[in-house]
Amino acid sequence: MRIIPAVLTVPAVLTGLLLASPTLANGQTFAMQGSGGPTLTDPGHSFAAGFAFSPTSRLTFMVDVERTHLSSRIHTDARGVTSAFRGGTVTLAAPALRVSLLGGDRVGPYGLVGLAAGVSRPNVTDLFPVRASNEVRGAFAGAGIQVPLRNRITLFAEARMTLVVGKDVDELFAVAPFRAGIAWRF
């Protein structure tokens, strides 16, 4: 039967490619990571923790849980016009795809894109006294730099821009965290 040689050919070719390319075989890693830092556009802070899988040294699939808090503010300009921003806390589950230009084993830049879903809890202030909780969705893109160290530890710093949209209410805002962190590869 000709089916059996064809079925055996595919695993044999894949095994041969992995043996011929040590980068593919050695590039498969898992990682745990954590990061934190300020937000860039509005006063606040952001923290994230998650897991990652790298099928190759240049491609990583990540899933983070991030919590970003933006401070409330009231601003009055020279003409007497007052504007207010409620601020609040956004908690998101954020799967992402990260592409490293030079591979994960070298110091170098990377870019990332992803989608996010979670909950927004606006701040309660004198101006905004009603407590609220809203389902949100978002998309983000960003870039960073990674610095691999010994013992499978990598330091990284990245900036992201996330566009957050409320599911049921008229809520639309952008969050731009700048985070530095550490990843442990295993």
Contact 64, 96 (CB under 8 A): yes
Question: Is 23-72+81-185 in CATH node 2.40.160.20?
Answer: yes
For residue 3, pLDDT over 50 is answered with no
For residue 169, pLDDT over 90 is answered with no
pLDDT at 65: 96
pLDDT at 13: 59
Share of the chain above pLDDT 90, in %: 48
Q: Dump pLDDT digits (tens) for 132-164.
A: 888 999 999 999 999 999 878 999 999 999 999
Q: In the predicted model, what is the mean pLDDT of the chain?
A: 85
Question: Tokens 């099928």 — which residue?
Answer: 55
Region 49-64: what's the mean pLDDT?
92
Region 5-11: what's the mean pLDDT?
51
Report the phi/psi class of residue 103: left, alpha or beta, with left for phi > 0 and alpha for psi in -120 to 50. Answer: left
For residue 5, pLDDT over 60 is answered with no
For residue 45, pLDDT over 90 is answered with yes
pLDDT at 12: 56
Q: pTM here?
A: 0.76
What burial letters (b/e) apply to 162-175, b meaning 16+ CB within 10 Å?
Answer: bebbeeeeebebeb
Tally of CB atoms within 10 A around 17: 11
